[in-house]
Structure 1
Amino acid sequence: MGYDAQFRVWRGDADGGALQDYSIPVNEGEVVLDIIHRLQATQTPDLAVRWNCKAGKCGSCSAEINGQPRLLCMTRMSTFTEDEVVTVTPLRAFPVIRDLVTDVSFNYAKAREIPSFTPPPGLGPGEYRMQQVDVERSQEFRKCIECFLCQNTCHVIRDHDDNKPAFSGPRFFIRVAELEMHPLDTADRRDAAQEEFGLGLCNITKCCTEVCPEGIKITDNAIIPMKERVVDRRYDPIVWLGNKLRRRRP
């Protein structure tokens, strides 16, 4: 059985905008992205929204639904009651381009700052040998679809725009952790994680983990282990002595 839902959608651009109200038919089994597409087809053809796969795997349709960062294509209308007003707004942490489309180029700039995978010298393709436990540990982080919901909900970025130059955010902490935990990677990213990417600014509230559509344990499996590695590197007396001795070798 269908019904008419009340939608409130943010319309505007970088110069400003406002929420606009719509009444739109909803059919059984639909998701919020279906309703946005119906609005485009029937009432507001100039409504801008970014989407691609409609299967929760491309991360394109990120937005805020009733104030919660979500994927439009993975939020079922059955989540809401028939008399509930559904409010759809753009990601708050990033500049608005138009309507529900935001400029997420900040994230791609941060991605370019992370040193790439650095295998041992002379190790050729097909010569990699890893234990299954090491594969599974880093494979979790590779499930990321770059929806940037974690970036958007992180209050260090969301509430303090001036932190962006010094803080990469949870999506890139899992990238650093993936490389740092890879048994064949020879680069040391612990100092960079702390000094260049802002790992110390994270106070592990786990809000990033809560919104991840892939269920990645960002805080427990990436950020906290990276913090522990940084602390070991800087403050463990045995590690400190070992680093000193290695530096003295001719």
Structure 2
Amino acid sequence: MTDQATFRVWRGDSTGGRFESYQVEVHEGEVVLDLVHRLQATQAPDLAVRWNCKAGKCGSCSAEINGRPRLLCMTRMSALPPDEPITITPLRAFPVIRDLVTDVSFNYAKAREVPGFIPPPDLKPGEYRMQQEDVDRSQEFRKCIECFLCQDTCHVVRDHEENKAAFAGPRFLMRVAELDMHPLDAATEAGLDRKATAQEQHGLGYCNITKCCTEVCPEQIKITDNALIPLKERVVDRKYDPLVWLGNRIGLRRKD
């Protein structure tokens, strides 16, 4: 059975644009990306859209469908209102290059600001040993496909351009949290305080845990509950707990 859907697609570039309406055939079992490809093949061959795997694992086809950040390849047409126009726009938090393609280089810049895993100096790579519980704890965060939907929906980034310089966003604060809880990360021994940098360099304090990032994650990572909130708790303990503060002071004096 073949139906018709009305697509309202944003067309334009960095100088401006407008919505164009199209009638597109819909077949049973299709996802939005199928219809975008059909639209390119039949009516809009110059429509720019970024995609790669069509399996929900590369994160390339991020866009906004009816105002909600989603992957085009993982949004089934059957899950959308059948009798209403479907509006497709580029990610709102990032500059438009053309049509549905945005410049997400902000995210790569933030990734470079997070120091990577620092291995223990007394162990060779083949000698790393971890408890399975610790592996499971951080493995959730390794499922991230870098679609940047969490970055797009985070209102700290989305609604306040001026915050971008000081705020890494949920994807990269999650990376800091993962490294901070890694039992083999030797950042402290190397003179790097991940808790301090989370607050002072990556803007953890800007996050007010609305869980909007968790809601749009296609990998169903509990970004807020399992990464950001625990990281906030550890930062607060480090900064305000009197016993921790005293221990740090004693430690500093011993070094002196």
Please report the TM-score for the alignment, with normalisation by the length of structure 2.
0.96
Aligned to 1:104: 104
Q: Structure 1 residue 245: deviation in Å? A: 1.1
Equivalent residue of 1:115, what SS?
coil
Aligned to 2:2: 2
Q: 1:50-69 residue pairs with structure 2 within 5 A?
A: 50-69=50-69
Aligned to 2:190: none
Please give the alpha-carbon distance, in whole angstroms, between the structure 2 residues aligned to 1:82 and 1:235: 53
Please give the alpha-carbon distance, in whole angstroms, between the structure 2 residues aligned to 1:157 and 1:221: 21
Please give the alpha-carbon distance, in whole angstroms, between the structure 2 residues aligned to 1:25 and 1:81: 15
Q: Structure 1 residue 232: deviation in Å? A: 0.7
Aligned residues: 250
Equivalent residue of 1:122, what SS?
coil
Where structure 2 has 5 or more consecutive residues not aligned to the other structure, the ranges are 188-192
Say whether 1:193 aligns with 2:198.
yes
Aligned to 1:83: 83
Aligned to 1:21: 21
Contact 1:3–1:82 at 8 Å: present in 2 too? no
Aligned to 2:95: 95
Aligned to 2:232: 227
Please give the alpha-carbon distance, in whole angstroms, between the structure 1 residues aligned to 2:102 and 2:78: 27
Aligned to 1:208: 213
Please report the TM-score for the alignment, with normalisation by the length of structure 1.
0.99
Aligned to 1:74: 74
Please give the alpha-carbon distance, in whole angstroms, between the structure 1 residues aligned to 2:184 and 2:250: 24
Please give the alpha-carbon distance, in whole angstroms, between the structure 2 residues aligned to 1:107 and 1:81: 32
Equivalent residue of 2:126, what SS?
coil
Contact 1:69–1:153 at 8 Å: present in 2 too? yes
Please give the alpha-carbon distance, in whole angstroms, between the structure 2 residues aligned to 1:6 and 1:54: 22
Please give the alpha-carbon distance, in whole angstroms, between the structure 1 residues aligned to 2:3 and 2:119: 57
Q: Deviations over 1:90-134 (max 9, x none)?
A: 000000000000000000000000011012212101111100110
The residue identity in structure 2 corresponding to 1:87 is T
Say whether 1:243 aligns with 2:248.
yes
Identity %: 77
Q: Structure 1 residue 81: deviation in Å? A: 3.6
Please give the alpha-carbon distance, in whole angstroms, between the structure 1 residues aligned to 2:203 and 2:183: 24
Q: Structure 1 residue 82: deviation in Å? A: 3.1
